[in-house]
Structure 1
């Protein structure tokens, strides 16, 4: 039983690898922490193996070191990275020219690297705030329901102290959001986050906001006739400074921190290290607070006000175009905080015209957003993603009941780039419909949720347009998925492994996942989940044949494989997937296969790259990289074929896959053509491995080694 807390485990792991100062870099995959150490000899493998919560360790060449955690790896990784002692870690070793070029190429994840970086900057600036955003939005949703049923006037200007206090619960998050965003954005750009928060807080203090509309000497106030808002200007050191209430503005901190990062890092290069703690924050504040107050802050507000004026003109001259532009524009305004000034324009419309023309088209955007979230929720239920199901459920409730889109955007949509294009189609469909139907108006300022549908006129037009937007986005996200094919395979593999471990149905012991190959986990997890025959029995120890194995070197029979179910008297013959020399698993270079942790089987030193199916069955898993295949026979025998050692790192180069997961196959069917010369040139052993994953469920698994074979020759006999 694991008695260590995650925090304690993280600290013990840090000590075990030689301390934070010995860590050059740290990443993780489905089950393992992957360290690049400065000195691999400093890692205490025995101590790490003895830790509760550590399933095993795998030292590698080049000072690389892997620690197998299992399904909890992401949490342990987070605890390590957030540990205060990690502040001194991550110093890179000198890189060769080839490594530098490879790193630059790797950064171009999408077609446009700058776009990837922009979305990551947005996402990481808001993602840590998901919990408080959800909490605040649910408070608003509850208040909106009470307002809809006439229990309390949620928007009244003279509410009781009780409801003023309730307001403070959610306003605390939305008003001070700029400070929180500044902190996270600065952390993302690897500068002192407290400096970022301080700069933003300086223009949100009561001292600063108290000058707005006041009679303070040097402050003048004028009225914007278009928006009906007051604008105050203070003369500071003889220079005009526009005063604004920056509560809820997130575009300003995002822009400010981007510039602050340049200033902060430039100052660190100027000042000696022994005085940086004092002078770098000091000069950063001295430079950035005035820049934010005089330039960056007003720029954000001016952009919003200019946008409001333009929309008013567009609605008057081209109302159909306006109905389309609003829902198409909002998905980009909301993440940047530029949608807030439009609220003032909505109120002006209601006060001057008696109705507002913006909220109707805006509602189609909101419901397209909620529809995309509903698509994610359906997928999370289908794929049994617990965390995403919880996130999507909360975001959808906040949206449908409270009309709040931020939890959906910041918690889900900005994290997965595949969602936005599909959501925009829903926005377009809803906007086109509401434009063709002649527009929708409202006489009230309302959150566009299910509860406020009755305030829109004509209501039937509004219902048709928001329904079309909702279900279009939902269908597109659900059928296209919000994850890429590779991401889905990895997430499902992690899920299946975690479920198998939690349910006590692990088909392989914990050390099995030490292989440097997450697809191995996917193969086994998928097979175990489908067959339901795993027992969780311990695998044989390293170098020991599996239970019931009579030994190696037994002459192979000449009976061809037919896929006949294995019985105690008559075995199921697994044939060679490639031509070559058959060797025992104990002779291969991979410690996981050699230990039989992934089951008993054979290795074949291939003489050609023609890989065929060793048995009749169904392809449960086909690695996208083409190096691994999982097959389940009609009788539940689970077979893994793995081409080469560590060939996952080749990312499919040299592998021509001819089959797909879910396909029925017969013994001898072509699985892949492999360029063995490319495998060997990449520095990987080309040995092809074939194991029975659920060896523990069999009476015996008998490998027949020490022979040269052609593809299709029996090399393993399985008896149930």
Structure 2
């Protein structure tokens, strides 16, 4: 059954600053990419806390909300549940902020290529499947079945200028259909035939330098950018009564010859220089070049700039019929998958296993590494760097083997047939070393459950006792704050009242000094200060939520006294809350105290009701 992303999509838009702050939003394989008017309006802390969000980055001039493999579903939900339009959010306005050359480049590349990546990846996977089927003899190139399926796979890459014309027009705010018309002119059969025959042609007696525009990317993007500027000028001078046909006509009359005469040859030369420059670098010393590329690639991924290399990859395919750049960096997926696997095998923590296992599987089967990186390896640092080292080793091997692929595909077990050809054995060896090497080294040296206790490097006896707790024991929780104790069912919030988050009780506080109800370790301390989680020395997982909807205060009125990983004793002050400020904001101060691992207990009995003092017995937790 499909998961409902309605609530998540609404909250994402809310925390990126609302619909009015969104200029545009697109998505790539794993993340939503928002272009916003003001970064200051983005609530990064609350975005990262949303269930379904892996992490949030401000990179490449975008707010990148990393979702994982369900990003397309969340993207669709954005437009179904908010006022955003797929052309962008609010009208784009100049705000005087300069994004910088790199950010502008990344924003442009992602805006043009990200919408097409799904089609390119699917076509690449189909090419990989056809290579496998022809290798094992199921199909051959003369069969009609093969020809039709190959047309489906190769058609996307052959006619990629059509796709990029449309997405570039949306990005540059040009007429999409005129842009596609320019692409059609570049790929017109008579013109491609003239190029193939080496025919010399002129335009108004000016010699035309014919180049191949099939599978090309730079010429059409530059041409559409020029079109967007031309259209703005034409709209100022063309009479309103004939704008509908005259502006497109003049655009085609001007832009198609301009592309054939100037833009195409210049852009084609730039593309060839990029491709030859990259291949020359690798040819100079493939081992060193491949090692460096593989080593730095994980950093490119975490900053979200890895798709910025797509133009080079597409130029490599157009110029040489194959690409080696994404091939060299491909084993990084296996390295990060292996590092996540090492954490999964080593940890005894159930929650971490539930994160690391699927993340490792997603990376190795689908090539989606963000859950492994942000959820596991980067979180503990050592596994991430171990993965990066093995990515570098594998990159050196792949570069030395000369492995390449004729399509843009990600690296995973399912896409390995796409690399069949020169250097295929070397590629398999590199992937195996990256995967198993990172897993073994991470298991032996890169992770221990000590890392789960953040911010508490001193290994006290109390810390060790709590960490070694496996089974829960009977325990009495104390009242965390002076006030009136009420049954959980009376809390004016359905999620708490119905017990779906766990059983417990609640306090209507008379002062704002919220204390630990038990001995334990602070497992969660929200940056906003409105909630704190503690794992007790007897195994209870306790959540104290100060007030209802107080996360909306964004930390105002909360003075946090502890941090994640800190050992606390019953009665230690956790947070000092300004109750007057909370009430003044129209919010309820009722503070639920719940045991989230309720299923580990036979009964949770409320011991106190009515007026109580901090330190009184609040509830008894009876273990199974």
**TM-score > 0.5 by shorter chain:** yes
Give the deviation of 1:168 after TM superposition: 0.9
Which residue matches 2:532?
Answer: 629
SS at match of 1:213: helix
Which runs of structure 2 are paired with 1:522-541 in the superposition (5 Å)?
A: none
Which residue matches 1:692?
Answer: 594
1:143 aligns with 2:127: no
Q: Which moved more, 1:138-147 or 1:598-607?
A: 598-607
Which residue matches 1:648?
Answer: 551
Q: From 338, 350, 365, give the equivalent of 2:329.
A: 365
Give the deviation of 1:173 after TM superposition: 2.0
Distance 1:329 1:471, change over 3 A: same
Q: From 248, 252, 261, give the equivalent of 2:215.
A: 248
Structure-1 separation of matches of 2:319 and 2:492 = 66
SS at match of 1:601: strand
1:337 aligns with 2:311: yes
Structure-2 separation of matches of 1:205 and 1:582 = 79
SS at match of 1:235: strand
Structure-2 separation of matches of 1:656 and 1:241 = 70
Give the deviation of 1:172 after TM superposition: 1.7
Structure-2 separation of matches of 1:462 and 1:614 = 56
Which runs of structure 2 are paired with 1:592-603 in the superposition (5 Å)?
A: 601-603=505-507
Which runs of structure 2 are paired with 1:485-496 in the superposition (5 Å)?
A: none
Structure-1 separation of matches of 2:589 and 2:115 = 45
Which one has the largest radius of gyration? Answer: 1
After superposition, what is the alpha-carbon deviation per residue over 1:129-178, rounded to whole angstroms, capped at 9, x for unaligned?
Answer: 45543442333223222444466666xxxx45553333212112222233
Q: From 705, 709, 714, give the equivalent of 2:610.
A: 705
Distance 1:27 1:179, change over 3 A: same
1:172 aligns with 2:155: yes
Distance 1:289 1:614, change over 3 A: farther
SS at match of 1:28: helix
SS at match of 2:195: coil
1:29 aligns with 2:11: yes
Structure-1 separation of matches of 2:188 and 2:270 = 23
TM-align CA RMSD? 6.4
Distance 1:631 1:133, change over 3 A: same
Structure-1 separation of matches of 2:72 and 2:15 = 9
Structure-2 separation of matches of 1:705 and 1:606 = 12
Which residue matches 1:429?
Answer: 393
SS at match of 1:137: helix
Q: From 460, 471, 479, give the equivalent of 1:576.
A: 479
Which runs of structure 2 are paired with 1:325-474 in the superposition (5 Å)?
A: 335-340=309-314, 342=316, 363-368=327-332, 371-372=335-336, 383=354, 395-396=366-367, 428-430=392-394, 432=396, 439-440=400-401, 467-468=432-433
Give the deviation of 1:341 after TM superposition: 5.0
Distance 1:700 1:257, change over 3 A: farther
Structure-1 separation of matches of 2:206 and 2:441 = 53
Give the deviation of 1:613 after TM superposition: 1.5
Structure-2 separation of matches of 1:564 and 1:462 = 52
Is this contact kept in 2: 1:126–1:410, CA < 8 A? no
Is this contact kept in 2: 1:453–1:463, CA < 8 A? no
Distance 1:612 1:145, change over 3 A: same
Is this contact kept in 2: 1:27–1:34, CA < 8 A? no
Which residue matches 1:352?
Answer: none
Structure-1 separation of matches of 2:232 and 2:77 = 26
Distance 1:183 1:145, change over 3 A: same
SS at match of 2:156: helix
Distance 1:166 1:464, change over 3 A: closer
Structure-1 separation of matches of 2:269 and 2:369 = 24
Is this contact kept in 1: 2:170–2:176, CA < 8 A? yes
Which runs of structure 2 are paired with 1:155-170 in the superposition (5 Å)?
A: 159=142, 161-170=144-153
Structure-2 separation of matches of 1:655 and 1:93 = 39
Structure 2 residue runs of 5 or longer lacking an equivalent are 21-50, 53-69, 301-305, 345-351, 448-469
1:303 aligns with 2:270: yes
Structure-2 separation of matches of 1:303 and 1:645 = 58
Give the deviation of 1:190 after TM superposition: 6.1
Structure-1 separation of matches of 2:80 and 2:10 = 15
SS at match of 1:629: strand
Give the deviation of 1:82 after TM superposition: 6.3
After superposition, what is the alpha-carbon deviation per residue over 1:380-413, rounded to whole angstroms, capped at 9, x for unaligned?
Answer: 99656999899756645xxxxxxxxxxx799999
Which residue matches 1:658?
Answer: 562
Distance 1:213 1:681, change over 3 A: farther
Distance 1:276 1:700, change over 3 A: farther
Structure-2 separation of matches of 1:276 and 1:589 = 62
Structure-2 separation of matches of 1:194 and 1:259 = 15
Q: Which moved more, 1:185-194 or 1:169-178?
A: 185-194
Structure 1 residue runs of 5 or longer lacking an equivalent are 14-25, 39-69, 221-233, 348-357, 397-407, 482-529, 532-562, 567-571
Which residue matches 1:557?
Answer: none
Is this contact kept in 1: 2:473–2:622, CA < 8 A? no
TM-score normalised by the chain length of structure 2 = 0.59
SS at match of 2:214: coil
After superposition, what is the alpha-carbon deviation per residue over 1:260-312, rounded to whole angstroms, capped at 9, x for unaligned?
Answer: 55556677788899987666655655555455444444344212322455467
Structure-2 separation of matches of 1:214 and 1:258 = 30
Which residue matches 1:565?
Answer: 474
Which residue matches 2:467?
Answer: none
Q: Which moved more, 1:447-456 or 1:183-192?
A: 447-456
Structure-2 separation of matches of 1:688 and 1:265 = 57
Is this contact kept in 2: 1:604–1:687, CA < 8 A? yes
Distance 1:77 1:201, change over 3 A: same
After superposition, what is the alpha-carbon deviation per residue over 1:544-566, rounded to whole angstroms, capped at 9, x for unaligned?
Answer: xxxxxxxxxxxxxxxxxxx9737
Is this contact kept in 1: 2:128–2:417, CA < 8 A? no
